[in-house]
Amino acid sequence: MNATAPDSPALSHVSEDGTPTPVEVENLQFHYGSFHALKDLNLRFAGTGATALIGPSGCGKSTFLRIFNRIYELYPGQHAEGSIRIDGENVLDPHTDLNELRTKVGMVFQRPTPFPMSIFENVAFAVRKVQRIGKQELADRVEWSLSKAGLWEEVKDSLRKPGSALSGGQQQRLCIARTIALQPSVLLLDEPTSALDPYSVQKVEALVEELKNEFKIIIVTHNMSQARRVSEETVFMVRGEVVEFAPTRELFDSPREDRTRAYLQVGDL
Amino acid sequence: MSRSLSFGRRAKNSLFYLFSVFTTLFALFFLGAIFWELIRSGFAGLDWSDFTENTPPPMTDGGFLNALVGSLIMTTIAMSLATVVGVLVATFLSEFRKQARLGSVVRFLNDILLSAPSIIIGLFIYALLVVPFGGFSGIAGSIALAIVALPMITRTCEDVLRIVPDQLREAGIALGLKRSTVTLRIIYRSARAGMVTAVLLALGRVAGETAPLLFTALNNSGFSANLFAPMPNLPVMIYQFAMSPYENWKELAWAASLLITVFILALNVFSRVIFRPSTSS
Ligand SMILES: Nc1ncnc2c1ncn2[C@@H]1O[C@H](COP(=O)(O)OP(=O)(O)O)[C@@H](O)[C@H]1O
Ligand SMILES: [Mg+2]
């Protein structure tokens, strides 16, 4: 029952010599109308592994993630300046092909959003639309994605059932599966476990542990121990600004900033 | 709990309760009386020849085949037009929110249309399509009915499309799907039950509309499927026959009324049944 992995998704942001190019954020500003939500972010994320974004609610974590795939452009009055470089290309470049960008930068939301179709179709739908791929290859891809998402064993006999029939935790893994089915190079997770039960949280965390070997992961979480468990580097933000950015262990064990220390002690209030 | 209420308050409460029950029964009584009369007289007039013969001259036997077919033709054309346009307008209003200003103008116009008396819609089409083109016609009737159905479909479809959470749209877009794919394959599918309900309810409304047809399709005593000639139809036939002094015409009017009422009732029940599963999920 092993998923026959179609060629494992090569990290596309790997440079010629084999080292992944980092994700570079420069002079990034974001506005909701006249509200200045992100103030001049400058960061350089490792090209592999997981980066955690933490900070009090409303500090701009989701806003930040939503720039990576430019999903904010769906709404009037929201705009970003500066640059985010993935594979050396600035995603904010006006010439960027948005649909292509979004297949390269996958996003999973806080609440699971299964499409009104079968479990199989939930995963296959976008793959079929976006890539030219044969029937058998598609079936393999679905199995591969569901296996990666730790869901295959649970759903392999009910692929025709509607996605909405799954439990919340399973739905979230289904959403992860359909995102990685496109073999993106970056995976954005916005509080992916905050609406889930403890069992599913554990499942998804294990999943992140595994996936980060293949995809660059940026995960927003309000759960400190989760950030600690799954990430190699952590960004701590307050009110649209970066307070501290450091390797995860360093940031949690010996924060340089007082504000970081205070936040880690009191938590997200 | 009731002990803490004073006697006066309890008395007022009971009185109000009795009053409500009485008023409800009063209203139900008239509704029941209407139904009873409709069923009694309707069934008396209803027989097989109603569906096989055309509307007769006074004092002779006949049916309303021509009017039934005319109604079916005009209703089908009207609903097809109104559904296509209504769904497109609703999609514009709910999916293209960046066009907020144009959207609110369109929504305002639609609301005016929704509350416009249908006789005015009839007159409008009379002036626009009947007078300039030299006569009453089935196509003018169809378009008048379509304009009655359009704002209902637009309004309800916009509402059910808006209920679909934005997160579902974002999830589709975030996978690199085109906007049109997300709308056609994901959003419509989520809102499907509600959209079908919208169309069925509009159909129920249009099925019995008389005023928009009086000035447009008028009527035709013979069988006519010609869209560019006056077209017979059930509501106008009922209107003319019910007011006539002829017994056989009155009987046909009752039978046709029963037919339309049962159809509308069935539509309403059916649309409730299909909408239930999606509201619970
Ligand atoms: N659509 C919006 N319009 C206006 N302001 C918004 C919008 N979304 C978020 N904000 C504001 O931007 C700030 C950052 O929000 P967000 O990125 O959602 O925070 P976080 O994800 O860290 O909790 C908050 O102050 C929030 O009120
Ligand atoms: Mg958030």
Place of tokens 């965390």: A205
User: Using CA positions, which residue lies closest to atom 26 of ligand 1?
Assistant: A58
Q: Could you tell me the residue range of the domain that residue B254 belongs to?
A: 51-274
pLDDT of B118 higher than 70: yes
Tokens of A80: 């970003």
Any B CB within 8 A of A126 CB: yes
Pairwise pLDDT comparison (A13 vs B228), residue with the higher score: B228
Chain B residue numbers touching A164 (CB-CB < 8 A)? 281
Share of chain B above pLDDT 70, in %: 96
Closest CA to B96 of B182, B156, B23: B182
Answer whether residue B86 is part of any domain: yes
- Can you tell me which atom of ligand 1 is nearest the CA of A57? 23
* B101 reaches A (C-beta below 8 A): no
CA distance B88 to B84: 6
Alpha-carbon A19 to chain mean position: 21
SS3 label, residue A207:
helix
Spell out the SS3 assignment of B163-227: HCCHHHHHHHHHCCCCHHHHHHHHHHHHHHHHHHHHHHHHHHHHHCCCHHHHCCCCCCCCCCCCC
Query: A174 and A115 in contact (C-beta within 8 Å)?
Result: no
Could you say which of A69, A100, A113 has the minimum Cβ distance to residue B167?
A113
Tokens of A227: 């950030």
Best residue of B97, B166, B169, B175 to probe chain A, by most A CBs closer than 10 Å = B175
| Helical H segments across chain B, by residue range | 7-45, 65-95, 100-115, 118-125, 138-163, 166-174, 179-181, 188-207, 211-214, 234-242, 247-280
Residue B3's pLDDT band, with cuts at 50, 70 and 90, is low
A168 touching chain B per CB within 8 A: no
Q: What is the DSSP string of A123-160?
A: HHHHHHHHS---HHHHHHHHHHHHHHTT-HHHHTT-TT
Residue A11 pLDDT greater than 50, yes or no: no
Residue B42 in tokens: 């309707």
User: Measured from the CA of A75, which atom of ligand 1 is nearest?
Assistant: 1
| A132 vs B: CB within 8 A | no
User: Quick one: DSSP state of residue B54?
Assistant: P
Average pLDDT over residues B230-252: 93
Q: Band of the pLDDT at A131, cuts 50, 70, 90?
A: confident
For residues B90-106, give the mean pLDDT.
90
Confidence category of residue A7, pLDDT binned at 50, 70, 90:
very low
d(CA B238, CA B252): 8
Name residues contacting ligand 1 (CB within 6 A): A 32, 35, 37, 55, 57-63
**Cβ neighbours of B36 (radius 10 Å):** 10
Query: Which residue is closest to B191 within chain A, CA to CA?
Result: A116
pLDDT band at residue A266 using 50, 70 and 90 as cut-offs: confident
The radius of gyration computed from the CA coordinates of chain B, to the nearest angstrom, equals 24
Rounded CA separation A261/A257 (Å): 6
Q: Please tell me what DSSP assigns to residue B3.
A: G
Contact in structure between A159 and A124 (CB atoms under 8 Å):
no
Q: Which ligand is nearest to the CA of A190?
A: 2
CB atoms within 10 A of CB A33: 10
**Per-residue b or e along A226-245, where b marks 16 or more CB atoms closer than 10 Å to that residue's CB:** bbbbbbbbbbbbbebebbbb
Give the span between the Cα atoms of B248 and B229, in whole angstroms.
Answer: 26
CA distance A67 to A86: 12
CA angle A237, A62, A232 (to 5 degrees): 60
Q: What is the mean pLDDT of residues B135-159?
A: 95
Q: What is the mean pLDDT of residues B242-259?
A: 92
First to last CA, chain B: 37
Domain assignment of residue B1, yes or no:
no
Domains and CATH numbers, chain A: 23-266 (3.40.50.300)
* A62 in B contact zone (CB under 8 Å): no
Query: B10 in a domain, yes or no?
Result: no
Instruction: Provide the pLDDT confidence category of residue A121 given band limits of 50, 70 and 90.
Output: very high
Q: What are phi and psi of B19, to 5 degrees?
A: -60, -45
Is residue A11 within 8 Å of A48, Cβ to Cβ? yes
Q: Which ligand is nearest to the CA of A54?
A: 1
CA distance A71 to chain B (A): 7
How does DSSP classify residue B52? Answer: T
- The Cα A231–Cα A224 span in angstroms is 11
CB B112 within 8 A of CB B155: no
Side-chain half-sphere CA neighbours of A8 within 13 A: 7
CB contact under 8 A, B177 and A106: no
Top-ranked range on mean pLDDT: pick from A11-25, A158-172, A197-211, B1-15? A158-172
Paired sense of beta strands A78-86 and A89-90, if any: antiparallel
Task: Supply the residue whose CA is at minimum distance from atom 5 of ligand 1.
Answer: A32
Whether the per-residue pLDDT at B138 is higher than 90: the answer is yes
**Cα–Cα distance, A221 to A255 (Å, whole number):** 18
Q: Is residue B91 part of a domain?
A: yes
pTM for the whole thing? 0.84
Residue that the structure tokens 């609301």 belong to: B111
Convert the pLDDT of each residue in B149-202 to its tens digit. 999 999 999 999 999 999 999 999 999 999 999 999 999 999 999 999 999 999
CA of A73 to the centre of ligand 1 (A): 15
- Asked if residue B84 is part of any domain, the answer here is yes
pLDDT tens-digit readout, B18-44: 999 999 999 999 999 998 999 999 988
Number of domains in chain B: 1
Of the partner residues A75, A113, A164, the one whose CB lies closest to the CB of residue B281: A164
| CB-neighbour burial class of residue B103 (10 A; exposed 0-12, middle 13-18, buried 19+) | middle
Residue B203 belongs to a domain: yes
Query: Which atom from ligand 1 is nearest to the alpha carbon of A191?
Result: 21
Among A76, A126, A164, whose Cβ lies nearest the Cβ of B175?
A126
Please give the biggest Cα pair distance in chain A. 56
What CATH number has the domain bearing residue B257?
1.10.3720.10
For residue A84, count other CB atoms closer than 10 A to its CB: 24
Tell me the ipTM for this assembly: 0.87
Residue B9 inside a domain? The answer is no
Interface check for A109 against chain B (CB to CB < 8 A): the answer is yes
What are A92's two structure tokens?
């904010």
The mean pLDDT value for B112-136 works out to 92
Nearest CA among A41, A36, A11 for reference residue A26: A41
CB contact under 8 A, A115 and B172: yes
Can you name the residues that pair with A123 across neighbouring β-strands?
Answer: none
Neighbour-count burial of A256, counting CB atoms closer than 10 A to its CB (0-12 exposed, 13-18 middle, 19+ buried): exposed
- Supply the mean pLDDT for chain A: 88
Q: Is residue B100 part of a domain?
A: yes
Residues in B closer than 8 angstroms to A109, CB to CB, are 167, 170-171, 174
Question: Is a pLDDT exceeding 80 seen at residue A269?
Answer: no
Supply the pLDDT for residue A216. 92
* Confidence (pLDDT) at B45: 84
How far apart are the two ends of chain A, measured CA to CA in Å? 46
Q: Mean pLDDT throughout A33-43?
A: 94
Contacts of B174 in chain A (CB under 8 A): 69, 71, 102, 106-107, 109, 179
Q: What is the pLDDT of residue A200?
A: 84
- The confidence band for B5, taking pLDDT boundaries of 50, 70 and 90, is low
pLDDT at A16 over 60: no
